[in-house]
Structure 1
């Protein structure tokens, strides 16, 4: 066991240094600089400049209390990544459909007296034209009134309804 312990420590240090090196490849922006850092990928398949994206993100998993939701931040990453890759900003249309436990990530005060760590992200997404919809059935089930939601969040009849409407408008579902 004595010999094994130094090997474990060395492996942990190597993994931490590799993770740090990988994270340093991720940089901010160009659209939402505070959220959604992305890495440039050499040799990636080119995206035709006339590409138009209509993408819906389905979010049901809540963030850990006090942390930014990685699921919500995916929309910022998508926007930053594709503008950086040369897709014109006006060709990217994003919607986020939230339901289930993730409702807390859209509330002004997720728990009494608690500030929402996602407020800045939601504001940045809305300011950059991302539509954010909350399932009305989730809100009704949780007893959440519209005035408890962060600015820019809109209610839909249901998440199922919103996804169906978005699909009719040519949106594809992003599973990440």
Structure 2
């Protein structure tokens, strides 16, 4: 009889686990509404809700090149930020974003010809960066990293700006009211 009690107890536990499964399932992530096809986010019930009146001026920093054949996750964060805020009620025109790129990530902002020459494949970031720039995201490359890596202005994707350095770009953006997103 003791064996039967343990089995029933185990069965109850297994049944409870099955019943709770939908509640424990992870949230559904989707792209949009601002940057379609990029920047998947989940809707969240907030305890610190946004009012829709917020204004954001945020700079992101990317130093590491994306994984081979994949988009740079740091670049994708800007699409996520735009989509996340819009879903929470902040209008896209109330958001100004910049991306400062340096180090190995500099290769992720070069045009198709330069990327093909270096890596023998297409730049997986080109479409994402073009989509971000449609929403007035500034993409700024560190000139010191570019010089070190042999990247010329003619090698850059359309709209990518060349700064004296990443340090200079960050200092200027801070003077313009941008805050640094550490992720």
Scaled by the length of structure 1, the TM-score of the pair is: 0.85
Between the aligned partners of 2:95 and 2:46, the Cα distance in structure 1 is 22
Residue 10 of structure 2 aligns with which residue? none
Q: Check if 1:41 corresponds to 2:70.
A: no
Match for 1:116 among 120, 123, 131?
A: 123
| Secondary structure, counterpart of 1:90 in structure 2 | helix
Residues 42-51 or 88-97, more deviating: 42-51
Contact 2:29/2:40 (CA < 8 Å) preserved in 1? yes
| Secondary structure, counterpart of 1:32 in structure 2 | coil
How many residue pairs end up in the alignment? 157
Residue 88 of structure 1 aligns with which residue? 91
| Secondary structure, counterpart of 1:56 in structure 2 | strand
Aligned-pair CA distance for 1:66: 0.8
Residue 148 of structure 1 aligns with which residue? 155
- Greater Rg, structure 1 or structure 2? 2
Q: Which sections of structure 1, spanning at least 5 residues, go unmatched?
A: 1-16
| Secondary structure, counterpart of 1:47 in structure 2 | coil
Residue 12 of structure 2 aligns with which residue? none
CA RMSD of aligned residues (A): 1.6
Residue 73 of structure 1 aligns with which residue? 76
Residues 152-161 or 37-46, more deviating: 37-46
Contact 2:53/2:90 (CA < 8 Å) preserved in 1? yes
Contact 2:65/2:105 (CA < 8 Å) preserved in 1? yes
